[in-house]
Amino acid sequence: MTGSPNQLPEPGAEMGHFVSDAPFDPYEAEKAGSAQGKFAEASQLRLMWWKFRKHRIAVVAGVFLLVMYASILISEILAPYNLHTRNTDFIFTPPQPVHLFHDGAFVGPFVYGRTMVLDMETLQRIYTDDPAQVQKLRFFCSGDAYDFWGMVPATFHLVCPAKGGQMFLLGTDRLGRDVLSRIIYGARISLTIGLFGVAMSFVLGIVIGGIAGYRGGWFDMVTQRVIEVLQSIPSIPLWMALAAIIPVTWSPILVYLGITVILGMLDWTGLARAVRSKLLSLREEDYVLAARLMGAGSGRIIGRHMVPGFMSHLIAVATLTIPGMILGETALSFLGIGLRPPITSWGILLTESRSVNIIALYPWLMFPVLPVILVVLAFNFLGDGLRDAADPYK
Amino acid sequence: MLRYILMRVLTMVPTLFLISVLVFTIIELPPGDFFESYVSEMKALGEEADLAEIEMLRERYGFDDPQIIRYFNWAGGMLRGDFGYSFEYRLPVNDVVGDRLWLTIVLSTLTILFTWALAFPIGIYSATHQYSWGDYGLTFLGLAGIAVPNFMLALVMMYFANIWFGVSIGNLMDQQYLGQAMTWEKFRSILSHIWIPVVIIGTAGTAGMVRTLRANLLDELQKQYVVTARAKGLPPGKVLRKYPLRMALNFFVSDIGSILPAMISGAEVTAIVLSLETTGPMLIRALQSQDMYLAGSFLMFLAFLTVIGVLISDIALAFLDPRIRLGAGSAK
């Protein structure tokens, strides 16, 4: 052994023969791999999660949506009042702000009581805060009686007004119903209608797009034309036409299901296109050819080898179609051809603020538009994040 | 080029045929027809409906014929420019509709132009200043435009226009011009009203267009020819203008196909809220009263408008991009 291994030989000098005297470890390469490249070994799902996590806004949006969806499980507890509780002495009350200090002393969260004067000229109800009435909010308390999930009678609420007092944090409507409570209950319908609609268009899209993409031929031709047609008709007029078909005699629940079907029926086209184009490109992949050569049937090839390849992509596309459905339902209900009371969705709540006069006099009736905007934004951000994450190798 | 346009127009025919079948099915779906609901409504009011006249109308419009024959009557009539008879207004649909169709076209065209004028500079700015505060702000603003329901925006704008400018912005023109022939005054009145619906409807479409333009421009900006052009010392503005922008322009034009239906949807809802003299309010009224020829013609017209819009954008694309013009139109 001539010279140390770290030293280059002199130019022109003869190269020495070097053998490392370190003990031989056959697993060395793998150890090195796990040290520097955890990416090389991580599963696809893990990679997607890492990529998704980097998209900060998408994570925040995802958490926000999780909270929203969790809230519809316990709407009865979260809402201070019931959906249909009428406070006939407090019609069109403006929102009551929550205070912490009264006369410079800390009291904890409370609202001031309200006194109402009827303006005899305009016949408008004018509410003023009455500083003498300090109504402390109660937490984990018993208030309006309700049937939890329509089954278990209970009176437990997260927060209630003081005994004999009121708490209208977002004001009341023309029947004296608490807007905040109605928004919380409305989430049940507005949030689920998009999910059911998407579930339906998901199934339709995968089946139709799958057959079209894998089989091709005349079926593909026909579906392509049909999709083109459906996509070239403006969706809201078509939804309007279909919603107008729903007979007036149907019960509100049936109407809800009908609207879901209508939303889903026209929305599968985007998904079907995505499935088809993905299938067409995946069909040419080597691993699919390998599976076929090993004798796998088409069902197994599609289900086991191709669907996992584009499922993540599909979920991202589906996420991006939910906001359209939520907005569609809101618009239909607002126009009076969607859902009908007593079913309460955010669109139904917005029908209350249908005229300019209402906006001028009782602007708090527009609060239900806020959750609509937030949820639609959140779904957009989440969908963007998912779409980036769906292709983690990029 | 002519060949391409011809091919493109020909492919429109089956599309329109399928749309007409779909529309016809939808307007035929509800049980009963206009006369049944009309007669029962009259009975409820304690009045006698003129059964002889109804019988005559039923006869004339072939209400008792099988569906296929009715379809061909309806579709054939439309080809000849006869859109049928509105039973509610007791007038041919052509007379009821009046300028509404034209106003809808004007409104849609203006909205697209507005969307372009807004989306083009914003998209370029967002792409060239990627991840800057301006980019984030504009992207967020665009998303907000998508998220706020059109009808709410319409209501709020109506309110503020009333307070700030003292104009009532419902309607598309001052009431005295309704049903009058087009004059300079009427035109001016329309012009002073139309910008509000244009802005409202345009907000949602703008966001979508900015997104597309930004994404495509970003893709182009990373390509090697841009690097080469820059390395050779071309000023940045010229680099942008000469190459990537022209490529991104293609997507800008072809995107009309996906944005137009959404835009017309938004236009309908906005029109209902603002009670504009376009198709929206009349369509919803016709749907509710089962005035099927009127509703059907409107639906058909809206779909036709979209198809034509896409056709125009495709032809414009062929002018812009020789690859589309020369590569057979069928390859797509």
Residues A50-73: tens digit of each pLDDT: 888 888 888 899 999 999 999 888
DSSP H or E segment with residue A138:
strand A138-148
Do the chains contact at B147 and A231, CB–CB below 8 Å? no
Closest CA to A59 of A388, A382, A367: A382
Mean pLDDT of B132-159: 82
pLDDT at A31: 64
Lowest mean per-residue pLDDT among A35-39, A196-200, B164-168: A35-39
pLDDT at A67: 92
For residue A148, what are the β-bridge partners?
A152
- The one-letter amino acid code at B39 reads V
Contact present, A227 and A272 (Cβ < 8 Å): yes
As for the ipTM of the complex, it is 0.77
Tally the C-alpha atoms within 13 A of residue B86's C-alpha that lie toward its C-beta: 22
**According to DSSP H, which parts of chain B are helical?**
2-28, 34-44, 51-60, 67-79, 93-97, 100-128, 133-147, 150-164, 184-221, 224-231, 236-242, 244-254, 256-274, 279-288, 292-320, 322-326
Which of B40, B112, B135, B155 has the highest number of chain A CBs within 10 A, making it the mutation to test binding with A? B155
Nearest chain A residue to B152, by CA? A369
pLDDT at A306: 81
- Give the C-alpha separation, B241 to B237, whole Å: 6
- Give the C-alpha separation, A141 to A162, whole Å: 10
pLDDT at A26: 75
Tell whether A185 lies on the interface with B, counting CB pairs under 8 A: no
Could you read off the pLDDT of A82-126 as tens digits, one per residue? 878 788 778 888 888 888 888 778 887 888 877 877 877 777 788
DSSP H or E segment with residue A193:
helix A179-215
Tell whether B318 lies on the interface with A, counting CB pairs under 8 A: no
- Give the C-alpha separation, B332 to A374, whole Å: 38
- Give the C-alpha separation, B151 to B173, whole Å: 19
Could you read off the pLDDT of B289-303 as tens digits, one per residue? 777 778 888 888 888
Average of per-residue pLDDT values in chain B:
78
pLDDT at B38 over 80: no
Of B23, B152, B269, the CB nearest to A236: B269
Chain A hits for B306, CB-CB cut-off 8 Å, are: 232-234
pLDDT at A393 over 80: no
Do the chains contact at B15 and A228, CB–CB below 8 Å? yes
Do the chains contact at A233 and B303, CB–CB below 8 Å? yes
Contact present, B228 and B239 (Cβ < 8 Å): no
Lowest mean per-residue pLDDT among A43-52, A185-194, B106-115: A43-52
Could you read off the pLDDT of A280-308 as tens digits, one per residue? 888 788 888 898 899 888 788 877 888 77
What percent of chain B shows pLDDT beyond 70? 86
Tell whether B14 lies on the interface with A, counting CB pairs under 8 A: yes
Tell whether B147 lies on the interface with A, counting CB pairs under 8 A: yes
Residue A172 gets which letter from DSSP? B
Contact present, A125 and A168 (Cβ < 8 Å): no
Assigned token pair, A297: 């049937």
pLDDT at B158: 79
Tell whether B303 lies on the interface with A, counting CB pairs under 8 A: yes
pLDDT at A2: 47
Tally the C-alpha atoms within 13 A of residue A211's C-alpha that lie toward its C-beta: 12
